[in-house]
Amino acid sequence: MLISFILLGKYLEVLAKGKTSDALAKLTDLAPDTAFLLSLDDDDNVISEIEISTQLIQKNDILKVAPGAKVPVDGIVVRGHSYVNESMITGEATPISKKLGDKVIGGTMNENGCLLVKATHVGSETALSQIVQLVEAAQLARAPVQKLADQISKFFVPTVSFFV
Ligand SMILES: *[C@@H]1O[C@H](CO)[C@@H](O)[C@H](O)[C@H]1NC(C)=O
């Protein structure tokens, strides 16, 4: 009975870890793979636009977020006006109006307008990466109740075997 009990516990642990890994994969998928990097001249006119990998974005890069595209990293709106669906990060159900100076979060969905965004947080600094890091850390840490269970079984097993 004891062995079945321990195996059941291990099984539940594996199941729970699998679920968090799935959740982590979904979270990481929220950020788009590529983004449109703009170059501006001295009068802030767009002179070129190239598609680059989201991983290559650097702080202060100016990015174009088209309607229906996802915001690649955390940043601040420098031009344009749009509504952004932030439900996947904040839980807020209605899209939020974004205009000059407003903050946008990487992984959220731009709805109707075109936005130019200046990257403020990239790579592991984005809100999305921070969430992923927290979940990963929590997943690695053993639950306090698990430590208690280990302590109990350390005495329980020898005691039971002594009497049996
Ligand atoms: C915002 O996105 C979520 C899914 O990420 C979706 O369920 C929801 O309907 C969207 N909200 C609007 C107003 O489109």
Please check whether residue 135 lies inside any domain of the structure.
Answer: no
Ligand 1 atom at minimum distance from 94 CA: 13
Please check whether residue 143 lies inside any domain of the structure.
Answer: no
For residue 120 and ligand 1, the question of a CB distance below 6 A is answered with no
For residues 106 and 69, the answer to whether their CB atoms sit within 8 Å is: no
For residue 32 and ligand 1, the question of a CB distance below 6 A is answered with no
Walk across the sheet containing 46-53 and list its strands: 46-53, 34-40, 62-65, 115-121, 74-79, 103-104
For residue 87 and ligand 1, the question of a CB distance below 6 A is answered with yes
Please check whether residue 17 lies inside any domain of the structure.
Answer: no
Q: Which of 82, 85, 105 to mutate to test the pocket of ligand 1 (most atoms within 8 A of CB)?
A: 85
d(CA 94, CA 77): 19
d(CA 143, CA 13): 11
Mean pLDDT in each 10-residue stretch from start to end of the chain (164 residues)?
84 82 85 94 90 95 96 96 94 94 96 96 93 85 73 80 78
pLDDT at residue 143 in the model? 67
pLDDT at residue 159 in the model? 83
pTM of the predicted structure, to 2 decimals: 0.76
For residue 95 and ligand 1, the question of a CB distance below 6 A is answered with yes
Range of the domain at 125: 32-130
pLDDT at residue 103 in the model? 97
For residue 40 and ligand 1, the question of a CB distance below 6 A is answered with no
Please check whether residue 107 lies inside any domain of the structure.
Answer: yes
Burial environment of residue 80 by CB neighbours within 10 A (0 to 12, 13 to 18, 19 or more): middle
DSSP secondary structure, 47-77, as one string: EEEEEEEGGG--TT-EEEE-TTPBP-SEEEE
Please check whether residue 6 lies inside any domain of the structure.
Answer: no
